Amino acid sequence: MSSPKSPLAPTALPNLPEIAGVIRRVARAGYKAWERSDLTFVELAPGTTVAGVLTQSKCPSPEVEWCRKALVLGQARALVVNAGNSNAFTGDRGRTAVEAIAARTAQHLGCAPSDVYVASTGVIGVPLPVDKAEAGLDAAFASAPVGWVDAAETIMTTDTFAKVATQRAVVGGRTVELVGVIKGSGMIAPDMATMLGFIFTNAAVDPAFLQRALAAANTKTFSCITVDSDTSTSDTVLAFATGAAGNPPLAGDEDEGADAFVSALSALCMELALLVVRDGEGATKLIEVTVEGAESDRSAHRIAMSIANSPLVKTAIAGEDANWGRVVMAVGKAGEPAERDKLSIRFGATQVAEHGLAVTGYDEAPVTAHLKGSEIAIGVDLGLGEGRATVWTCDLTHGYISINADYRS
Amino acid sequence: MSSPKSPLAPTALPNLPEIAGVIRRVARAGYKAWERSDLTFVELAPGTTVAGVLTQSKCPSPEVEWCRKALVLGQARALVVNAGNSNAFTGDRGRTAVEAIAARTAQHLGCAPSDVYVASTGVIGVPLPVDKAEAGLDAAFASAPVGWVDAAETIMTTDTFAKVATQRAVVGGRTVELVGVIKGSGMIAPDMATMLGFIFTNAAVDPAFLQRALAAANTKTFSCITVDSDTSTSDTVLAFATGAAGNPPLAGDEDEGADAFVSALSALCMELALLVVRDGEGATKLIEVTVEGAESDRSAHRIAMSIANSPLVKTAIAGEDANWGRVVMAVGKAGEPAERDKLSIRFGATQVAEHGLAVTGYDEAPVTAHLKGSEIAIGVDLGLGEGRATVWTCDLTHGYISINADYRS
């Protein structure tokens, strides 16, 4: 909010195409004492299909529970996003607020409440005020449409820059466009989803196929990022397909253009996920952790996450210190198969440890140069099998402490 | 090292009794460029029994492997502790260094190498220099005995104060004394043991019984603390019993004084474990997290650790912010059974959330006052069963970042 823009923010925004059947409006509901829009209303054309991945938290927000139910039907006419109040852990009052938002939007559009998807982000434990939400919705209904970036800015909380991405694919002879907007900066350790991400495409896609494609992309993207190991109660990624491109609806892997669409969706998810890490609270370095030679991909992922979540590894990178001993520590604590004397570690392209001990007399200069950069690569080879995973995180700095020691005030 | 003493340090040291059969000597091996003793040699009387708990890291130091083997025999004549170099992840050279230390000490005492226990702490990945270790040992052999506090200071690394504790029990008509020394401040998330802790008693105790008692105490003490969720490669707690008190050796739960000894040992472990948390890197608050009403004790422990390891909970406490929403988040991400609408949370004695939502109009004044103190209590009731656990951690502050962004240099 008041933090300066992350040094890892992209220098330019991409050109974003319009997606036929997607109309964005924003308004100021006033969930917090801030002078900015904080309610986003996206109207979707009749026939839009939807897929989603949601937090695995055992204490999910009522918005997450609402979306989980609605996704079974696979149809969507609207998305409403509230910023500044997550409405999580608010009991019956929270549920009532979500139902009121869905009802009012459904009445406005003449659709079923289950066609309305709702997501909220912000402080936990304060019921979303229904009067503010309803007044905000009415203001949004009456307002002029806005661009993608306005919508991306309206869903922000501690984010320091608006996060958008786009991809394109040829499907059944038609060029289809995909646009995604996402927010997230702290409380990022998505468990099958990240904080709030929304993807829109004009492709025609069967909801079951869209769900499979989104879940597969998620496994390699949103589920591979972490800022602080803290998993949100509100993590939500929804993908909406309006079908306006007029391609024959994608329903199976063998359909023409299915591969291209899945690839484009996956690339878009990757871009969005990395934007979140680049805006990690207090981040000054983007860190890519690759683990190879594990007994399985799953084991590699767990070890990579153990490294990416280690405060000691993250502070060492913040200090531009090639302290690979902390990487060994993080491998050792992961609880996954590992043999110390087969382990190799690299920073950037430089092998610093091999087969369980430091590489004798390795040149520290390229390592030091690599660590002074803003994109850091840590590689671990366990030497056990073919399992492989890559995850992304950021460094842990004074900025994270400053942001989080007085967030609620 | 150069950090000021933790504000959570005890104001006075306890009076420490001598333990017959335990003689401490220290020397400067010069493992780092510092003007202080860094090698501790403890001579133990013939007949001393020993028990230990060691790190579960998959990348343990050669010292840990050495101790694990030696513990099978249950006998000890010496303990050697090196500070400034953990000797972890150093391959054959690390193993050779440990063997050389054990051999030289065994020769000096006329015992078997397997009677010599070795522990090292400090930077990972640099082989312990054998010449410095041997010269340091020779200097120690020739030096005058020192007190407990000198030994506790000699095993320190980033610790800001010497950590010692004592307990007493009546066993078989004899009063037996227990003294413990411990070090640890960062990389603290012991997995069955903490960094380096050493307990000495003049009680006569069968090694198998001593092992059982130590393992049981460990489960409720060292395994219940965390500073930063990072588990060391060198975690070691050893308990030595010289038998000089002359009690009939303790060998079973039914023996006279067994309960008293086990209670004293457990209380001593608790004191030592809390001293480590009080010296957590950058700590300004000691945090006790109690989880009740879980499906099992194990489940309660996991949830408590999820709260205690959450950077967002720890920074909130640093900021004296009653942000209980972050506690909900940490419960939700633990992956253990929890039902949002049965969850209650308190800070200090004040219930702030009950049955899944904020307590209406609860008085923030006592909560604010509690959070301004240096000892913080967070209580969670899951409302599901009888499972219960308490763990201890510290807050996450700018001090932690400062200490760890340039530790190795």
Residue B231 sits at φ, ψ, to 5 deg, of: -90, 125
CA angle A106, A110, A116 (to 5 degrees): 30
CA dist., res. A209 & res. B361, Å (int)? 48
Per residue in B2-53, pLDDT (tens digit) is: 578 888 888 899 999 999 999 999 999 999 989 999 999 999 999 999 988 8
Per-residue pLDDT at B195: 60
CA dist., res. B56 & res. A180, Å (int)? 43
CA dist., res. B307 & res. A178, Å (int)? 38
Per-residue pLDDT at B192: 44
CA dist., res. A25 & res. A30, Å (int)? 16
CA dist., res. A380 & res. B270, Å (int)? 37
- Label residue A229 by pLDDT band (50, 70, 90): confident
Selecting from B55, B90, B343 the residue whose C-beta is nearest the C-beta of A357 gives B90
CB proximity list for A365: less than 8 A, separation 6 or greater: none
Q: pLDDT at residue A394 above 80?
A: yes
- Label residue A227 by pLDDT band (50, 70, 90): confident
Q: pLDDT at residue B134 above 80?
A: yes
The answer to whether residues B193 and B36 touch, using CB atoms and an 8 Å cutoff, is: no
Are A401 and B404 an interchain contact pair (Cβ–Cβ within 8 Å)? Answer: no
CA dist., res. A173 & res. A261, Å (int)? 12
Q: How far is CA B209 from CA A206, B51, B72, B176, in A?
A: 66, 9, 13, 16
In sequence order, the β-bridge partners of residue A391 are: A289
Structure tokens at A172: 């059944």
Selecting from A126, A316, A328 the residue whose C-beta is nearest the C-beta of B404 gives A316
Q: Residue B67 — left, alpha, or beta (φ > 0 → left; ψ -120 to 50 → alpha)?
A: alpha
Per-residue pLDDT at A38: 97
How many Cβ pairs closer than 8 A exist between chain A and B? Answer: 228
- Label residue B409 by pLDDT band (50, 70, 90): very low
SS3 B402: helix
Which stretch of A24-33, A68-77, A355-364 has the lowest confidence by average pLDDT?
Answer: A355-364
**Known binding site: residues of A?**
157, 183, 194, 281, 404, 409
Structure tokens at A154: 């309206």
Share of chain A above pLDDT 90, in %: 62
Average pLDDT in the A114-143 region?
94
Per-residue pLDDT at B280: 86
Per-residue pLDDT at B1: 42
Per residue in A308-328, pLDDT (tens digit) is: 999 999 999 999 998 888 899
Which stretch of A157-161, B185-189, B201-205, B273-277 has the lowest confidence by average pLDDT?
Answer: B185-189
Structure tokens at B350: 């004040």
Instruction: Give which of B65, B154, B70, B155 is closest to B117, Cα–Cα.
Output: B70
Per-residue pLDDT at A233: 76
Interface of A with B in 91-130 (CB under 8 A): 91-94, 123-127
CB contacts, 8 Å: A312 with chain B: 186-187, 228, 230, 404
CA dist., res. B130 & res. B63, Å (int)? 14
The residue type of A91 is G
- Label residue A406 by pLDDT band (50, 70, 90): low
Average pLDDT in the B155-173 region?
89
Structure tokens at B32: 């780092």
CB proximity list for B136: less than 8 A, separation 6 or greater: B27, B28, B29, B30, B38, B39, B82
Instruction: Give which of A317, A378, A125 is closest to B316, Cα–Cα.
Output: A125
Q: Residue A172 — left, alpha, or beta (φ > 0 → left; ψ -120 to 50 → alpha)?
A: left
Per residue in B326-372, pLDDT (tens digit) is: 899 899 888 898 888 899 999 999 999 998 888 888 888 999 999 99
Q: pLDDT at residue B386 above 70?
A: yes
CB proximity list for B361: less than 8 A, separation 6 or greater: none
Q: pLDDT at residue A408 above 60?
A: no
Q: Could you tell me the residue ranges of all domains in chain B?
A: 22-278, 286-404
Catalytic residue among B194, B242, B284, B350: B194
Which H, E and C letters describe chain A, residue by residue?
Answer: CCCCCCCCCCCCCCCCCCCCCEEEEEECCCCCCCCCCCEEEEEECCCCEEEEEECCCCCCCHHHHHHHHHHCCCECCEEEEEEEECCCCCHHHHHHHHHHHHHHHHHHHCCCHHHEEEEEEEECCCCCCHHHHHHHHHHHHCCCCECHHHHHHHCCCCCCCCEEEEEEEEECCEEEEEEEEEECCCCCCCCCCCCEEEEEECCCECHHHHHHHHHHHHHHCHHHECCCCCCCCCCEEEEEECCCCCCCCECCCCCCCHHHHHHHHHHHHHHHHHHHHHCCCCCCCEEEEEEEEECCHHHHHHHHHHHHCCHHHHHHHHCCCCCCHHHHHHHHHCCCCCCHHHCEEEECCEEEEECCEECCCCCHHHHHHHHHCCEEEEEEECCCCCEEEEEEEECCCHHHHHHHCCCCC
Per-residue pLDDT at B189: 66
Selecting from A335, A355, A397 the residue whose C-beta is nearest the C-beta of B401 gives A397
Average pLDDT in the A279-307 region?
93
Average pLDDT in the B120-138 region?
93
Structure tokens at A288: 């890519």
CA dist., res. B176 & res. B173, Å (int)? 9
Average pLDDT, chain A: 90
Residue A181 sits at φ, ψ, to 5 deg, of: -125, 145
Interface of B with A in 338-397 (CB under 8 A): 338-341, 343, 353, 355-358, 396-397
First to last CA, chain B: 13
Interface of B with A in 52-71 (CB under 8 A): 55-60
Q: Cβ atoms within 10 A of the Cβ of B75, count? A: 17
Q: pLDDT at residue B282 above 70?
A: yes
Per-residue pLDDT at B190: 62
Average pLDDT, chain B: 90
Structure tokens at A175: 């060029």
Per-residue pLDDT at B333: 85
Which stretch of A208-217, A374-383, B222-231 has the lowest confidence by average pLDDT?
Answer: B222-231
CA dist., res. B267 & res. A16, Å (int)? 64
Per-residue pLDDT at B2: 54
Q: B286-404, what's its fold?
A: Ubiquitin-like (UB roll) (3.10.20)
Which stretch of A94-108, A368-382, A390-404 has the lowest confidence by average pLDDT?
Answer: A390-404
Per residue in B39-92, pLDDT (tens digit) is: 999 999 999 999 888 887 888 899 999 999 999 999 999 999 999 999 988 888
The answer to whether residues A94 and A126 touch, using CB atoms and an 8 Å cutoff, is: no
Per-residue pLDDT at B230: 77
The residue type of B355 is H
Q: pLDDT at residue B272 above 50?
A: yes
Q: pLDDT at residue A125 above 50?
A: yes
The CATH homologous superfamily for domain B22-278 is L-amino peptidase D-ALA esterase/amidase (3.60.70.12)
Strand order in the sheet with B350-354: B357-358, B350-354, B344-347, B375-381, B286-294, B387-394
CB contacts, 8 Å: A89 with chain B: 325, 328, 340, 343, 353, 356-358
CB proximity list for A82: less than 8 A, separation 6 or greater: A29, A31, A38, A39, A101, A118, A119, A120, A121, A122, A128, A133, A136
The residue type of B73 is L
